[in-house]
Amino acid sequence: MTTMFSQLQAIISLPPLLEMLKDGQPHRKEIYVPQLFLISEYNEYMVGVDHLDWLIQKYRISVTSKKWYFSLFTNFLDAMMVNSWVVHCFANENTLTLLDFKRSVTQAYLELSSDSDPKNLVWPKVFSSKVIPEIRFSTTEHILDRKERKCALCRKKKVSKQCVKCNVGLHMG
């Protein structure tokens, strides 16, 4: 890894080495070691990224999904909220905490979209049959067979009977 940085530094002709104090030895004498300029630059500008990562993980969106891109989307939302909160802190004197800021933004979006009462909201059930009407509404040869499959009407519950002619699962009361 160091060789790669040395070659990169030779190509772009930056000052090669800086003398840095060695970390992790508080009771020993000060030891200075050479460090590549690129590494010191990287460490200098990583502070903001580390702080952003720390703020994101404090109140991360905890929703799991099987889709690979969903974690990217939630991480984007978290980073957007943290960056908005930082701008809010710069702009206002009495600032909110990050958690209170996220709650207030969420509450504002919920109030924005709640024109109707969700308790009284009834979604219309649309039933579209895959069986052509001539077969479906004929009065003959509808025979029940014992085969487990999903119901053709509600599409959620498994039923133990199906119509042989229509080839759909049915609830039989």
- Please, are residues 163 and 170 in contact by the beta-carbon 8 Å criterion? yes
Q: Quote the pLDDT of residue 105.
A: 93
What 3-state class would DSSP assign to 50? helix
- Please, are residues 44 and 35 in contact by the beta-carbon 8 Å criterion? no
Rounded average pLDDT over 33-45: 77
Q: Quote the pLDDT of residue 81.
A: 96
φ, ψ for residue 118, nearest 5 deg: -65, -20
- Please, are residues 61 and 74 in contact by the beta-carbon 8 Å criterion? yes
Residue-wise pLDDT for 40-58, tens only, equals 778 788 888 889 999 999 9
Q: Quote the pLDDT of residue 117.
A: 61
Q: Quote the pLDDT of residue 119.
A: 63
What 3-state class would DSSP assign to 15? coil
- Please, are residues 37 and 15 in contact by the beta-carbon 8 Å criterion? yes
pLDDT, mean over the chain: 78
Closest CA to 164 of 130, 128, 147: 147
Q: Quote the pLDDT of residue 122.
A: 64
Residue-wise pLDDT for 10-21, tens only, equals 666 556 677 777
Q: Which residues does 20 contact at the CB level (< 8 Å), separation at least 6?
A: 32, 33, 34, 35, 40
Closest CA to 152 of 140, 165, 141: 165
Q: What span, in angstroms and rounded, lies between the C-alpha atoms of 75 and 68?
A: 12
pTM of the full predicted structure? 0.49
Residue-wise pLDDT for 66-92, tens only, equals 899 999 999 999 999 999 999 999 999
Hey, where are the domains in the chain? 1-58, 68-122, 141-170
Residue-wise pLDDT for 128-173, tens only, equals 667 667 776 777 777 777 777 777 767 667 777 777 777 777 776 5
The position carrying tokens 């978290």 is 78
